[in-house]
Amino acid sequence: MPMLNMRFVLPDHVVDLNRVAELTGIRRAGETIEIGAMTRQRDLEFSQDIADACPLMSEALTHVGHRQTRNRGTIGGSLCHLDPAAELVCVAAALDAVVEVIGPNGRREIPFAEFPAGYMSPAIDYTEIVSRLTFPVWPRETGHAFVEFSRRHGDFAIVSAAAMLLLDGAGRITRAVLALGGVAATPLRMRDVEAALIGQVASIELIGKVAEMCRDVEAVGDVYVPASYRQHLACVMSRRALETALSRAGKSAAAAH
């Protein structure tokens, strides 16, 4: 719809998937949660299953457009539109979602890391549709945070950050994830930052240090902000997301014992 609205595409035909009931729904399946491509963003926002299994997504959804757009927008539409600043795109990158597509040759699964073929271009054939997204469920004691900087609430993020931290009983980081949206043509996983966190005793000082590693990230400049400003925001958003994730991980771990 945004591409039609802005006259970027002028298709001969538009195929309406709204009435394909099999493409909608949220289902917990063991240590994963499966979401039909046509599931509305608003249904995800209010889903208790999503809040329990994937709180990072619940938090990210509060930043997606406005309640009017979330009433109609779908998770599959957001991932296929593949705006690098879209919150659900950043969450899918952070959590290593798996994208299921269906076409004339049957079903196949694409790890989200291989899903963006380029700027706003999903790696699916024109004869295929996305049918389902699968997200892994992290342990309950994981700390999560989704933060973003946008000019007004509800705008696409200029830069967003999604973080997940899991600590052992001694406060050492055993799993860490950091993804950035809006910085480059596709969402970025900051794997060097993740590697620098894992195995370390978590602290605000450590987070401040590793967040600075985002200073050199390859960033795009556009009419809104130069690349150097996005690099600055990448550091600030990473620090905020990791600090919040850490504060929540501490609380969850304390509650779990």
Ligand X SMILES: Cc1cc2nc3c(=O)[nH]c(=O)nc-3n(C[C@H](O)[C@H](O)[C@H](O)COP(=O)(O)OP(=O)(O)OC[C@H]3O[C@@H](n4cnc5c(N)ncnc54)[C@H](O)[C@@H]3O)c2cc1C
Binding residues vs ligand X (CB under 6 A)? 1-2, 17, 37, 41, 64-65, 69, 72-74, 76-78, 80-81, 86-88, 129-130, 154-156
| In the complex, minimum distance from the CB of residue 193 to ligand X, in angstroms, rounded to a whole number | 23
Residue number of the CB closest to ligand X reads 77
Residue with Cβ nearer ligand X (82 or 176) = 82
| In the complex, minimum distance from the CB of residue 65 to ligand X, in angstroms, rounded to a whole number | 3
- Based on its alpha-carbon atoms, the radius of gyration of the chain, rounded to whole angstroms, reads 18
Residue 30 neighbours by CB under 8 Å, 6+ apart: none
Sheet holding 143-149, edge to edge: 143-149, 159-167, 173-181, 188-189
75 closest CA partner among 116, 111, 113, 26 = 26
Residue with Cβ nearer ligand X (127 or 203) = 127
Residue with Cβ nearer ligand X (89 or 246) = 89
| In the complex, minimum distance from the CB of residue 158 to ligand X, in angstroms, rounded to a whole number | 11
Are 83 and 118 a contacting pair, CB within 8 Å?
Answer: no
Q: Which DSSP letter does residue 153 get?
A: T
Residue with Cβ nearer ligand X (152 or 257) = 152
| In the complex, minimum distance from the CB of residue 115 to ligand X, in angstroms, rounded to a whole number | 11
| In the complex, minimum distance from the CB of residue 76 to ligand X, in angstroms, rounded to a whole number | 4
Residue with Cβ nearer ligand X (41 or 142) = 41
Residue with Cβ nearer ligand X (43 or 87) = 87
At 229, give phi and psi (nearest 5°).
Answer: -70, -40
- The CA distances from residue 141 to 55, 95, 134, 146, 149, in Å, are 12, 16, 21, 16, 27
Q: Which DSSP letter does residue 201 get?
A: B
| In the complex, minimum distance from the CB of residue 73 to ligand X, in angstroms, rounded to a whole number | 3
Distance CA 18, CA 181 (A): 28
Are 61 and 44 a contacting pair, CB within 8 Å?
Answer: yes
